[in-house]
Amino acid sequence: MRLVDHQLRTLTKDPTMAKKTCETCGTKSATVEQMDDPYTAALYPEWPEHDQMTLCPPCAVARYEES
């Protein structure tokens, strides 16, 4: 199926498609996600809540490995 021009413009304005910025490295990408802090989540899984961080996959892995 081929999208027409107005459909493409609508998709790119969709806020769920917006790119987020990694708070560690500054990468701006659609793969950047808001998540529980991987460091505290690994060290203290019994905590009911963890700080939220906006991280790209490589920075999330690095933060987890620090724990």
Domain chopping of the chain, boundaries: 19-66
Q: Which residues of 19-46 are buried (b: 16+ CB within 10 A; e: fewer)?
A: ebebeeeebeeeebeeeebbbbbeeeee
Rounded-to-integer distance, Cα 40 and Cα 16, Å: 27
State if pTM tops 0.75.
no
What string of pLDDT tens digits covers the 67 residues of the chain? 454 554 445 555 555 567 899 999 999 999 999 999 999 999 999 999 999 999 999 999 999 999 8
Look at residue 67 in the predicted model and tell me its pLDDT.
81
Look at residue 18 in the predicted model and tell me its pLDDT.
75
Look at residue 13 in the predicted model and tell me its pLDDT.
54
